[in-house]
Structure 1
Amino acid sequence: MSLHCYADDTQLYLPLKPNNRSNLLNLIHCLEDIKCWMAKNFLHLNESKSEVILLGPSDSIKNIAGSIGSVTPLLKPHVKNLGVIFDSALKFDKQVNAVVKASFFQLRKIAKIKQFLQFDALEKIIHTFISSRLDYCNSLYIGISQSSLSRLQLVQNAPARLLTGTRKRDHITPILASLHWLPVQFRINFKILLYVYKALNGLAPTYIKSLLTHHTTSRSLRSADLGLLNIPRSRHKLRGDRAFAVAAPRLWNSIPLPIRTAPSINSFKSRLKTHLYSQAFLDIL
């Protein structure tokens, strides 16, 4: 069984195939062993707080959902993992809805006290209550639908207009550029690239570093000294290309060499933001 342990939560995960129940039996036996161990130690497993979710194509999920035995009552279409709502198709529609709803709720409250705050204080409050929600676990949003991405961008645009007093009819791009706020898509890329830099420099967990491999060639080529990463092939374009092991190397190889070879994490952040800023606002620079 593969697992992740948190302060008060344990997650078990494993691959399943429609015609192979061996892994499922392992999961059921594992849960039974946990119940027995807890009973012997005067503890009780609260099954009402235990949840199961199947991730994969809808056809495969339908085939497997009817044959998971005693786990069926625990099956959920959505589960919350460290505050992020996961769905079976990993579209994150529910998560985006939650972020949008919570952000605009906070924005309405902030708007009521705007007149009492100076510009710098108002900007700090916006980052604390709204930008933090946009940035939380935003690396998971890589490859989500354009409609969901647009909704998240509206969340960023609204406080930018509030902060600067910009009308709804005015174009938002120059406003974001003047505030030095990277658009949502570039903030997502920034977070993923930061994880890559940390992993390659021993600042990230080993399970993240294990997903990255350096690009090697059989001959001595110039590319061998460019710090490039190998981009594995994915079987499923819609889901496979969104995996960290695929998306992260692709983004990493696309940034200039001086950024990849930054001597420190602060230098890397500075160079990367400058690069992404120039890409995001190329039309107005």
Structure 2
Amino acid sequence: MLQTISPDLLPFITTVINGSLTSGHVQTVFKKARVIPILKTPALDPSDISNYRPASLLSFLSKILERVVCNQLSDYLLQNNLHDPNQSDTTASARISACLVDISSWMTAHQLKLNPNKTELLIIPGDPSAAQDLVISLSNSMISPSATARNLGVTMDNHLSFSSHVTNVTRSCQFLLYNIRRIRPFLSTQATQVLVQSLVISRLDYCNSLLAGLPLSAIHPLQMIQNAAAPLVFNLPKFSHTTPLLRSLHWLPVAARIRFKTLMLAYKAKNGPAPSYLKALVTPRTAPRSLRSTSTARLVPPSLREKGRYTSRLFSVLAPRRWNELPLGIRTAESLTVFKRQLKTYLFLKYLH
């Protein structure tokens, strides 16, 4: 886009963009947006309002925080016995359908609508050989199981391999890097770093704790994205040696970033301020005698009896193992800030020595 602008304006525009990226401040004039509804696909009927998607022409996105809390919905789950593990596909199908009718009625009463066309059914079986014949009904529509479903920007699959999610993140990051590379001649190193971190690295970090416990081969595409991003910041060839670049940028590799997120959650679960459901997943190890020398700040390791398809990737299993591997000085950090700083230093030495 910058290539089409008059050369006389480029220095001014470049200065404004670099200054905005460096300072983190966006001028008021750039915060104004025109919201124009556009067709989801050109072939759709323009007279049908449901075929439109609102699109903002705002260059810099602003935050909109939204949270909906409703205890009534959880009551419907209990009323329809969805927590009962001993039920056939037929029974489960009927109970889920009945629960959705209750939820749909509640939404209608509150001027909301449960859209069958945007409702997906994802079955994650504990036994890989289990049948997936479950079909539910909603507003005269039959909903069959999907191989994947998207939730809050994360693509879940029925094997919890997150392969589709990794593919989607990789593809979107490649597109972003391509666009940043096109305007790289007009950006300073510092502005490029801010741009790459905010658009690309943030995507690699988003919900990355879900990837904990996966083999390195599964997250390799994400590491390749980071390996391409680092040389771009310094305007170097794509295949430059990345380790010294990562050190210079203070970027932990992807595997270390995932471990960092898991251990940060473990610290919060052990010491606060994690939510209660997360605290319940870890148990501090208590010494038989209250002696200073026996206070090791460890977590109770998972039971060897725990077996299952996804057991090794459970937070309740993975967090104590990773936590107990940390040096004593990090486990006994007096605050989250100190723990975060020491943990990052520890992981830098471990992964980028």
Aligned counterparts, 1:161-176, within 5 A: 161-176=231-246
User: Within the alignment, does 1:80 sit opposite 2:147 as a pair?
Assistant: no
User: Within the alignment, does 1:240 sit opposite 2:347 as a pair?
Assistant: no
Pairing partner for 2:159 from 89, 100, 109: 89
Query: Compared with structure 1, are the counterparts of its residues 151 and 206 closer, same or farther at alpha carbon in structure 2 (3 Å cutoff)?
Result: same
| Structure 2 counterpart of 1:30 | 99
Contact 2:104 2:114 in 1 (8 A): yes
1:242 shift after superposition? 0.5
Taking structure 1 as the reference length, the TM-score comes to: 0.84
CA-based RMSD of the aligned residues comes to 2.9
Q: Does the residue aligned with 1:113 lie in a helix, a strand or coil?
A: helix
User: Within the alignment, does 1:7 sit opposite 2:77 as a pair?
Assistant: no
Query: Compared with structure 1, are the counterparts of its residues 24 and 227 closer, same or farther at alpha carbon in structure 2 (3 Å cutoff)?
Result: farther
| Structure 1 counterpart of 2:133 | 66
**Structure in which a larger fraction of residues adopt helix:** 1
Contact 1:232 1:246 in 2 (8 A): yes
Query: Compared with structure 1, are the counterparts of its residues 223 and 141 closer, same or farther at alpha carbon in structure 2 (3 Å cutoff)?
Result: farther
Query: Compared with structure 1, are the counterparts of its residues 149 and 221 closer, same or farther at alpha carbon in structure 2 (3 Å cutoff)?
Result: farther
Query: Compared with structure 1, are the counterparts of its residues 90 and 110 closer, same or farther at alpha carbon in structure 2 (3 Å cutoff)?
Result: same
| Structure 2 counterpart of 1:149 | 219
1:47 shift after superposition? 1.8
User: Within the alignment, does 1:114 sit opposite 2:201 as a pair?
Assistant: no
Which stretch of structure 1 is more off in the superposition, 207-216 or 87-96? 207-216
Taking structure 2 as the reference length, the TM-score comes to: 0.69
Contact 1:16 1:23 in 2 (8 A): no
Of all paired residues, the percent bearing the same amino acid is: 38
1:260 shift after superposition? 1.5
Q: Does the residue aligned with 1:114 lie in a helix, a strand or coil?
A: helix
Contact 2:246 2:252 in 1 (8 A): yes
| CA distance in structure 1 between the aligned counterparts of 2:294 and 2:178, rounded to whole angstroms | 53
User: Within the alignment, does 1:263 sit opposite 2:263 as a pair?
Assistant: no
Pairing partner for 2:284 from 214, 218, 231: 214
| CA distance in structure 1 between the aligned counterparts of 2:204 and 2:289, rounded to whole angstroms | 44
Q: Does the residue aligned with 1:207 lie in a helix, a strand or coil?
A: helix
| CA distance in structure 1 between the aligned counterparts of 2:281 and 2:187, rounded to whole angstroms | 46
Pairing partner for 1:204 from 256, 274, 288: 274
Q: Does the residue aligned with 2:149 lie in a helix, a strand or coil?
A: strand
| CA distance in structure 2 between the aligned counterparts of 1:182 and 1:41, rounded to whole angstroms | 46
Counting matched residue pairs gives 274
1:74 shift after superposition? 4.4
| CA distance in structure 2 between the aligned counterparts of 1:176 and 1:15, rounded to whole angstroms | 49
For structure 2, the 5+ residue unaligned runs are: 1-65
